[in-house]
Structure 1
Amino acid sequence: MLLVACLFSCASDKPDYLEPHIATLPATEITRTEATLNGSAMVEGETEMPQLCFRYGMTEEMSQTIPAAGGNTPSATARITGLIPATTYYYMLEGYNGRTTVEGNTMTFTTLPNEKPSVSEASIVSHGPMSVIVSYEITDDGGETITETGCLYALSSAADDRQRVQLTDCQKGKGRQILLISDLNRNATYLIWPYAKSRMGETIGTPITFTTGDAVMLGEAGQLRSLLGKGLYTYTRLSIAGSLNGDDLRCLREMMGRGLDDAATAGRLSDADLTDARIVAGGDPYDGSRYASDNVVGQGLFAGCESLVKIALPTGTTTIEKDAFARCTALEGISIPASAASVLPSSGCSALRGISVSGANTHYIGKDGVLLNADATRIVWFPMGKSGSYTLPPTVTSIGNYAFRECSIETFTFPDNITTLGTGVFIDSKVKEVKMPGGLRLVPTATFQGCKQLRVVRLGSKTEMISDYAFSDCPLTDIYVDAQLPPVCNAKTFATEGTGIFGTCRVHVPKGRVNIYKASDGWKLFKNIITD
């Protein structure tokens, strides 16, 4: 019995420190150049977890090592990179516990081979009537250098007759590619396939359908010139949507007949619909010195664009600066959007017949083609080309400086409630007959200066004073004055080159006031003072 007990006691005792159990497991997540190595390490008793690493290589010597991650858990992993495609690698998990090195079993894996590149479906970035800018991605280069990429395109009615456009500055690898396809037919439907080549072969992606139209859609600012290409000066009408920066605006100016340094171009664009466009900062100056700002039709932006006849401004426009359309001599109409909160007039728009305003605008209204402030108490911009007769709305209470300068109205009637006028209100205009406000006391300086067709003026009963140059160089034939007392005339009120009007112009005064006018300075120079 004593012998049996002793034997049992010896058989049940284990050493406190045992060698760890190391096992190499199959590799996972294998690609052409990477793989994840896997293994496990088990310890018993008081044995500490050894330091683990993987040995690997293209031969059984496995000369490369990488530390294994896993901490005190049984699992051990390591991600290795920089591998060679289509190559078999040997690997094993190895542990060292300070006394000895324990090796797991040797296993192998083979990296994936290189293959043809992969491309995404194309998408439309911007387009014009005869061109399109497309974007696509080389999603996988297949492990090889991309030797050629671009797009194939064909009319949908002749899908087998494909044209190839190669991208000359492609990224030699993965990434977004942008390509211009030009010289398309207008109002035609096309199929577009992206493609990419390497030494492994060519991949042609899934086609998309695109139909050209009459409008330009800019997905990114700065692309207008490249979209329109060599046909830049052939357009007479154009609709544009998307963002316009300084480069695009300069291009538009050229299309409208005016280039840098105010030089004339062969551009013929007369009708521009920018309703769905947006002016944004960026790009070069649009006229050589001025830069684009967000939602601003800047000073001189369309100045001198003699081909421009009609324009609808971007919906988001907030500001139209002074002389944005200066010297646009063919411009007949402007549409002011709802968001415009600050508008200043432009000079030299001799053909401008009307200004329309969105009904949603809370700052301005358009009435009979004239731009007024929201409550119609002030004229903001009177179109020079508006002709015929015009009666000022009775809500208007003030007239600013040069309000009707160079206008084409022939007969003009003021409401009697207006008591003040600005300087040079009608200077150089084509007006022929004017009825002044009944309550006006002062006819300001240069009110009708240079009005070379003005024949008849009617002055109200409260007129007290007429300033210098008010009727300078006006070929008046009849002046009607309702004031009982002769208004004071400054020395140069009727200053005129040549023989003047004193011998030919008839001055019509109230009954019984002829002699008073004949004795008054300024009026006594007229030879024909009469009572009707």
Structure 2
Amino acid sequence: MRTFTLKGLFLTAVFMVLGCLAIHAADDDLITRQITVKLDEAGTLPDKIGSIKKYKLTNLKIVGEINGTDLRFIREMAGKDVNGNGTAGKMATLDLSEAKIVKGGDYYYSRYRSTSYVHTDYYTSDDVIGEYAFENCSGLTSVTFPSSVTSIGEYAFSGCSGLTSVTIPSSVTSIGSSAFSGCSGLTSVTIPSSVTSIGWSAFSGCSGLTSVTIPSSVTSIGDSAFEGCSGLTSVYVSWESPLSINASIFENVNTKSCILYVPKRTYDDYWLSNWGVFDNIEEYDVTGIDNVTTSSDVKEISRYSVNGQRLKVPTKGLNIVKYSDGSVKKVVVQ
């Protein structure tokens, strides 16, 4: 009995070592540099990359039109198949800045609804990041959207917990419900001034989010939009008159320590509204223009992000600017 047990332990150890070596070898086989694929026709990405290299790429840039067939393939490269099951995909960085989403091709996702016992298939539409497009692709860390995208669909990036960087282009007008819910790796979000609506729970559960800038172009924010963003330390808004909201938008946010920054001379209006859930409300100069900058003797000497990182040029979001006379200003760059 003793001999059998020792043999069993030995064999188990051998298999574990071999398994680790196999995984290590597979990781060593990954292609980490950015690979750029140019498509002359939508629906041809699978043919361009092929099945052998499909799961080896970690950093992909696509140039040209993509449809549902391409998006299905991209999902598989990012770790999820058409039914939401896991794949061997390892893609972490996706650059679609020179791509264009078009209608056509296969459905990229099929959702089974147990309550109705039916499958709903999702297809691409022109210039739309569709519903559930990258849901639960937790290995994705960075996504750059096509510059032509006008809307981000419901649950498009829900559960992408590894996502740390998202660049939302100025062409986007709407962010769908739960679009980024559960993206716990995101640390800051600057919503472009083109956006007019933010859906319910759009950023709920983004616990790593520390700063949010909401432009005055936004006319509606759904309930629980930022619920559970427990790491928030600053929220910047620029409406001269507070936007009407439900207080649930910031449920489970530490509103005792998080600072709400509002335009100059609007403190009372915000304090009296549902924005008054924040204990700390501070006024700031939305335009970044005041007496200090009109003086020819006063010059900007340094500029920083809200996280204290030195900025070489004005960057979207809140910039902290130091001037030669010793003054410091908080400026929102749209």
Correspondence for 2:225 among 385, 395, 403: 403
Q: 2:190–2:213: 8 Å Cα contact kept in structure 1? A: no
Pair 1:427 & 2:259 matched: no
Structure 1 residue 408, shift from structure 2 partner: 3.8
Give the whole-Å Cα distance in 2 for the aligned partners of 1:458 and 1:280: 46
Structure 1 residue 273, shift from structure 2 partner: 0.7
Q: Which residue number in structure 1 is paired with residue 164 of structure 2?
A: 332
The amino acid that maps onto 1:255 is M
Runs of 5+ unmatched residues, structure 1: 1-185, 187-212, 355-368, 449-456, 461-532
Q: Which residue number in structure 1 is paired with residue 264 of structure 2?
A: none
- RMSD across aligned C-alpha pairs, in angstroms? 3.7
Structure 1 residue 438, shift from structure 2 partner: 4.2
Structure 2 CA distance for partners of 1:372 and 1:214, relative to 1, 3 Å: closer
Q: 1:332–1:385: 8 Å Cα contact kept in structure 2? A: no
Correspondence for 1:215 among 36, 39, 45: 36
Pair 1:370 & 2:190 matched: yes
Structure 2 CA distance for partners of 1:239 and 1:414, relative to 1, 3 Å: closer
Pair 1:225 & 2:49 matched: no
Give the whole-Å Cα distance in 1 for the aligned partners of 2:130 and 2:251: 26
Cα deviations by residue, 1:127-155 (Å, 9 ceiling, x for unpaired):
xxxxxxxxxxxxxxxxxxxxxxxxxxxxx
The amino acid that maps onto 1:268 is K
Q: Which residue number in structure 2 is paired with residue 69 of structure 1?
A: none
Structure 1 residue 425, shift from structure 2 partner: 1.3
Structure 2 CA distance for partners of 1:394 and 1:326, relative to 1, 3 Å: closer
Pair 1:255 & 2:255 matched: no
Give the whole-Å Cα distance in 2 for the aligned partners of 1:322 and 1:249: 16
Correspondence for 1:310 among 142, 147, 155: 142
Structure 2 SS opposite 1:322: coil
Structure 1 residue 420, shift from structure 2 partner: 4.0
The amino acid that maps onto 1:214 is I
Give the whole-Å Cα distance in 1 for the aligned partners of 2:136 and 2:96: 19
Cα deviations by residue, 1:335-358 (Å, 9 ceiling, x for unpaired):
22343343335122222233xxxx
Structure 1 residue 388, shift from structure 2 partner: 4.2
Give the whole-Å Cα distance in 1 for the aligned partners of 2:232 and 2:80: 32
Q: Which residue number in structure 2 is paired with residue 234 of structure 1?
A: 56
Give the whole-Å Cα distance in 2 for the aligned partners of 1:343 and 1:279: 17
Q: 1:419–1:441: 8 Å Cα contact kept in structure 2? A: no
Would you say how many aligned residue pairs link Structure 1 and Structure 2? 224
Give the whole-Å Cα distance in 2 for the aligned partners of 1:394 and 1:281: 32
Q: 1:410–1:432: 8 Å Cα contact kept in structure 2? A: no
Give the whole-Å Cα distance in 2 for the aligned partners of 1:394 and 1:222: 38
Give the whole-Å Cα distance in 2 for the aligned partners of 1:392 and 1:266: 37
Q: 2:185–2:209: 8 Å Cα contact kept in structure 1? A: no
Structure 2 CA distance for partners of 1:251 and 1:431, relative to 1, 3 Å: farther
Residues 475-514 of structure 1 mapped to structure 2, 5 A cutoff: none
Pair 1:272 & 2:272 matched: no
Runs of 5+ unmatched residues, structure 2: 1-30, 111-120, 261-266, 282-334
Correspondence for 2:185 among 342, 351, 363: 351
Give the whole-Å Cα distance in 2 for the aligned partners of 1:318 and 1:218: 22
Structure 2 SS opposite 1:300: coil
Structure 2 SS opposite 1:247: helix
The amino acid that maps onto 1:421 is I
Give the whole-Å Cα distance in 2 for the aligned partners of 1:396 and 1:318: 14
Structure 1 residue 249, shift from structure 2 partner: 0.5
Give the whole-Å Cα distance in 1 for the aligned partners of 2:268 and 2:215: 15
Residues 157-172 of structure 1 mapped to structure 2, 5 A cutoff: none
The amino acid that maps onto 1:272 is L
Give the whole-Å Cα distance in 2 for the aligned partners of 1:343 and 1:391: 14
Structure 2 CA distance for partners of 1:395 and 1:219, relative to 1, 3 Å: closer
Give the whole-Å Cα distance in 2 for the aligned partners of 1:395 and 1:277: 26
Correspondence for 2:279 among 430, 433, 458: 458
Q: Which residue number in structure 2 is paired with residue 283 of structure 1?
A: 105
**In percent, how many aligned pairs have the same letter?**
33
Structure 2 CA distance for partners of 1:408 and 1:459, relative to 1, 3 Å: closer
Q: 2:175–2:197: 8 Å Cα contact kept in structure 1? A: no
Residues 115-130 of structure 1 mapped to structure 2, 5 A cutoff: none
Give the whole-Å Cα distance in 2 for the aligned partners of 1:283 and 1:397: 34
Higher relative contact order (CA 8 A, sep 6+): 2
Structure 2 CA distance for partners of 1:350 and 1:443, relative to 1, 3 Å: same
Give the whole-Å Cα distance in 2 for the aligned partners of 1:422 and 1:385: 20
Q: 1:295–1:318: 8 Å Cα contact kept in structure 2? A: yes
Give the whole-Å Cα distance in 2 for the aligned partners of 1:339 and 1:243: 17
Give the whole-Å Cα distance in 1 for the aligned partners of 2:161 and 2:130: 18
Q: Which residue number in structure 2 is paired with residue 322 of structure 1?
A: 154
Give the whole-Å Cα distance in 2 for the aligned partners of 1:405 and 1:306: 20
Structure 2 CA distance for partners of 1:299 and 1:438, relative to 1, 3 Å: same
